[in-house]
Structure 1
């Protein structure tokens, strides 16, 4: 197991993690049975791939920002902060994933904690997150960060809210 010498943090996508991004996302996609063809395009022009992900962009019909969770040259996962939830009520403010090689080490919990600090800085007082009922690991991550259940969305996903002021800034 790789020992991280620097605590991971959310930051804008960077070319510094090229190799670990491509290998981590490939391992994760293969494990989930998902297509990996998109990684060939990313590998051919990683600088352009990263540039397309930096800054506030319109995604899912709302302004959003992509962050990567990294430690030095190690890519651990991705997180999206939507500045408002999509109008169709089929998603929340935050979407995240940790690539397979880094599962079960507390990274998703810390990513979400750091995302609440970013959201608070954007003036978002309450974060909406949605999760499939059978996704126990993600549900535990949200609950560890103060998520409070609030029914289901039209797709049947659980809705949870996090008060950004209740989550500590430091890790």
Structure 2
């Protein structure tokens, strides 16, 4: 049995309704963004979760979403895109992630990405591309801490490759 006090990746679940909504609202408020996008979740959280569970299509590619949680607290989201389009090769990459504002600056993003890399490997990916805007130093540190190797930039985006090893844990960079 796993220790529920340790952060872990889980499939989206209705059991985290209040924590998810509170975290995402706080995130929007901290960044000065509208919370309107949360309306479907507030109205029908079961349907909202169902749309994000398992494999679904977004950006014209299959995607898998995980929530990063500790106990019953939602900390953030990690999304794995199963393949790249030309657009995702430049901006977006295979993996997107965020930690909601109340849980930032505690190392959660680094650990969440590390936990997500074996999931990428299970999906058959040998290496993954991650991108971040040039001014996002926090994301850059997360990617580098997980073995990201810089590649050519694209516009305002920096791009990094992580080569996935055979076993669990982080990648070792692109060769």
Residue 134 of structure 1: CA displacement? 0.7
What do the CA deviations read for 1:33-89 (whole angstroms, capped 9, x no partner)?
111012233112111110110011111111111110012210000010000123222
Judge conservation of contact 1:15–1:50 (CA < 8 Å) in 2.
Answer: yes
Judge conservation of contact 1:113–1:167 (CA < 8 Å) in 2.
Answer: no
Give the whole-Å Cα distance in 1 for the aligned partners of 2:66 and 2:75: 11
2:169 maps to 1:169: yes
What do the CA deviations read for 1:86-113 (whole angstroms, capped 9, x no partner)?
3222220000000000001111001100
Give runs of aligned pairs for residues 2-81 of structure 1, distance below 5 A. Answer: 6-81=5-80
The SS at the match of 2:160 is strand
The SS at the match of 1:49 is helix
Q: Structure 2 length as normaliser, TM-score?
A: 0.89
Give the whole-Å Cα distance in 2 for the aligned partners of 1:45 and 1:118: 28
Structure 1: gaps (5+ residues): none
Give the whole-Å Cα distance in 2 for the aligned partners of 1:12 and 1:86: 24
Q: Is the deviation greater in 85-94 or in 119-128?
A: 85-94
Q: Structure 1 length as normaliser, TM-score?
A: 0.91
Structure 2: gaps (5+ residues): 171-175
Give the whole-Å Cα distance in 2 for the aligned partners of 1:76 and 1:168: 22
Give the whole-Å Cα distance in 2 for the aligned partners of 1:148 and 1:166: 18
2:137 maps to 1:136: yes
The SS at the match of 1:116 is helix
Give the whole-Å Cα distance in 2 for the aligned partners of 1:40 and 1:156: 31
The SS at the match of 1:165 is coil
Corresponding residue of 2:173: none
Judge conservation of contact 1:54–1:65 (CA < 8 Å) in 2.
Answer: yes
Question: Please, what is the CA RMSD of the aligned residues?
Answer: 1.7
Residue 167 of structure 1: CA displacement? 7.7
